[in-house]
Structure 1
Amino acid sequence: MVKSFQGVREAEPRNQTQPISVRDHMTTNLITFRPDDTIDKVLVTLASKKISGAPVLDHSGKLVGIISEVDCLSVVIKGQYTNTPKFSALVEEKMTKDVMTLSPDITIFDAAQLFLEHKIRRFPVVKDGKLLGQISLSDIIRVFTKLKTTTW
């Protein structure tokens, strides 16, 4: 019988990398709007889903803008002055049309830098002209709280 006197060996720690691309942390099940939706519909949806904005897609599914609570405020304020509780303005009239997008392959560090530079709350994630998802400032913050210092 052969006895080993080497004792228990600890396994070498694997250098596991953490998923740090936007693709790994973006939201993919998105609420979207159409340019011909009304601000009424947007406000009800944003409030009920507890979100602050969403992409706007044309009938072919192409990203044409983004609508946010801030975009809707002017319609709400105008309604107060005209004593109109209905907000029939169309999304296409109030949405932000010049939308900055991100590639799914950039790192969350690069995305964080873009959030700082542009002071916006969300970026649609697009590849080859197709909307894949959206990454928000909150998503980025959540990722950073989960990163381990050994793979930072």
Structure 2
Amino acid sequence: MRAADVMTKKIISAHPDMSVRQAAGTMVFAGVSGMPVIDEDGRLLGMVTEGDLMHRAEIGTGVTQRAWWLELVASTRDLASQYVKEHARKVGDVMTTDVATITETCPVADIAELLERRRIKRVPVMRDGKVVGVVSRSNLIRALVTMAPELPADTDGSDHSIREAVLAAIAEQPWALASENVTVENGIVHLWGPIVSAEEGNALRVAAENVSGVNGVMTHFGLPKA
């Protein structure tokens, strides 16, 4: 699955000369937390997000009072930049210009990694220098609901084949159990043995639950004593 499969094509955007108040209203009524800033030629100039509008002098959320030691360590560039964020009237002055972008062929796994790494909620999709869509976290969640494939039929339903499939599912993992610690009876997987942490136990249980034909998973783990 790629960006073109999940992106929003109806783009809510801002112009650099749009007022901050109008941009805030557009985001509120459109139900979005950010939007690309595009000029008359369709070029992407930046993104304006809730974070860019969070600290504003007119609503009393500006950073007006700083501890004296913060004033000492902050550069005049940082202080001036913060002042602009708090007082500027135009989107072009408050928008974020360091914008990550993707193309329509970008795999959704790469998009998810980008959003997490950059700590952003949405990313513009580009084609020939123009914005043709936006992929947000909510787009990825919708894809999970509407496009997630069913579990493959990787067993014939017998206890033996289910056990083999469970062992195969965990074989390459660093938290894999020894084969003698996995048993199956009437489609119920039993996982035995000591584990290092509760997280490893959860991973083993989830791996077993994702094998087709499994009717349930019972764990019989022991955590090492502190």
Smaller-chain TM-score bracket? 0.7 to 0.9
Gaps of 5+ in 2: 62-86, 153-226
Gaps of 5+ in 1: 1-19
1:47 and 1:97 map into 2 onto residues whose CA distance is: 22
CA drift at 1:30: 0.9
2:25 and 2:39 map into 1 onto residues whose CA distance is: 20
- Equivalenced residue count is 126
1:79 matches 2:80 = no
CA drift at 1:142: 1.6
| Letter paired with 1:80 | I
Aligned to 2:139: 139
Aligned to 1:9: none
Instruction: Calculate the TM-score normalised by the size of structure 2.
Output: 0.52
Identity across the alignment (%):
31
| Letter paired with 1:27 | T
Aligned to 1:62: 43
Aligned to 1:148: 149
Change in CA separation of 1:109 and 1:93 when aligned onto 2, cut-off 3 Å: same
Aligned to 1:17: none
Change in CA separation of 1:74 and 1:25 when aligned onto 2, cut-off 3 Å: same
1:81 and 1:149 map into 2 onto residues whose CA distance is: 51
Preserved contact between residue 53 and residue 67 of structure 1 (Cα < 8 Å): yes
Aligned to 1:112: 112
| Larger helix proportion of the pair | 2
Instruction: Report Cα offsets for 1:53-110 as digits up to 9, x if no partner.
Output: 11100111100011011111222xx11349xxxx871001100011110111011111
User: What is the CA RMSD across the aligned residues, in angstroms?
Assistant: 1.8
Preserved contact between residue 88 and residue 94 of structure 2 (Cα < 8 Å): no
CA drift at 1:149: 3.5
1:49 and 1:128 map into 2 onto residues whose CA distance is: 27
Matched ranges for 1:1-150 at <5 A: 20-75=1-56, 78-81=57-60, 89-146=89-146, 147-150=148-151
Q: Which fold has the larger relative contact order, with Cα–Cα distance below 8 Å and residues 6 or more apart in sequence?
A: 1
Moved over 4 A (4+): none
2:138 and 2:60 map into 1 onto residues whose CA distance is: 34
Change in CA separation of 1:32 and 1:41 when aligned onto 2, cut-off 3 Å: same
SS at match of 1:74: coil
